[in-house]
């Protein structure tokens, strides 16, 4: 199973992608990475890694996994959690990075829970909504989830890892069917982590 990492940070990725992306695209990615780092602050992943690694991993999946060079998709990958997990608004994303990027971020952002709606019900509704998302937004979501599950065995809470595995099989694998590369990667991932099925 291919693993995607971004431990070396944005400067190394920037050099690695210099032959794939224009100078202008790299410059706007500089801005997006700096914005994401500022907004996410000292947030970390469940296993303790800096949060920015996850954001960059999603972009690595798109560039190095499936060959995406559409800068709006890469910006959305870097910014995909900034509205959901920080005080940043969608309008701020739109003002800084454009309408299309904001629309992609909006598709992959879990909306605030309405009064009287349980956490699981709201999550299920969010995942179901992705079934009608445009392909570009689905690509961002698949890259996001791939980053989250590729090292599921490092999650510090085994019960959370099991439920996340089940949710991925139930709600994300059907989305991956739209895209052969993701379909094949998640098939291999499912074989690798099948023990989490219980």
Q: Please name each of the domains of the chain with its CATH number.
A: 10-197 (1.10.3210.10)
User: pLDDT tens across 48-88, in order?
Assistant: 889 999 999 999 999 999 999 999 999 999 999 999 999 99
Tokens for 27, please give them. Answer: 């410059």
pLDDT of residue 46: 84
For the chain, the residue count is 198
- Whether residue 115 is predicted with pLDDT greater than 90 in this model: the reply is no
* CA torsion angle 163 165 170 173 (round to 10): 160
What separation in angstroms does the CA of 20 have from each of 3, 13, 26, 58, 63? 21, 11, 10, 17, 9
pLDDT of residue 196: 87
Decide: 56 and 50 in contact? Cβ < 8 Å. Answer: no
In the set 85, 92, 136, 167, the catalytic residue is: 85
Instruction: Kindly indicate the confidence band of residue 154, based on its pLDDT and cuts at 50, 70 and 90.
Output: confident
Q: What are phi and psi of 50, to 5 degrees?
A: -55, 140
- Whether residue 5 is predicted with pLDDT greater than 80 in this model: the reply is yes
Catalytic residue flag (residue 177): no
pLDDT of residue 197: 83
Pick the residue with more confidence: 198 or 23?
23
In the set 49, 64, 70, 84, the catalytic residue is: 84
Catalytic residue flag (residue 85): yes
What separation in angstroms does the CA of 106 have from each of 27, 87, 102, 198? 23, 14, 6, 34
């Amino acid at each position: 199973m291919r693993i995607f990492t971004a431990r070396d940070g944005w400067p190394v990725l920037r050099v690695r992608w210099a032959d794939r992306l224009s100078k202008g695209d790299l410059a706007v990615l500089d801005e997006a990475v700096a914005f994401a780092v500022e907004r996410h602050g000292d947030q970390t992943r469940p296993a303790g890694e800096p949060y920015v690694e996850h954001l960059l991993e999603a972009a690595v999946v798109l560039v190095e996994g499936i060959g995406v060079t559409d800068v709006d998709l890469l910006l959305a990958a870097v910014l995909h959690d900034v509205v959901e997990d920080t005080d940043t608004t969608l309008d701020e994303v739109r003002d800084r990075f454009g309408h299309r990027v904001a629309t992609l971020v909006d598709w992959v952002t879990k909306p605030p829970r309405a009064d009287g709606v349980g956490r699981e019900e709201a999550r299920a509704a969010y995942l179901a909504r992705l079934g009608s998302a445009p392909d570009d937004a689905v690509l961002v979501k698949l890259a996001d989830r791939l980053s989250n599950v590729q090292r599921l065995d490092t999650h510090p809470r085994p019960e959370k890892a099991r439920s996340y595995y089940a949710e991925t099989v139930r709600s994300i694998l059907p989305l991956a069917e739209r895209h052969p590369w993701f379909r094949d990667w998640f098939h291999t991932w499912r074989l690798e982590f099948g023990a989490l099925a219980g």
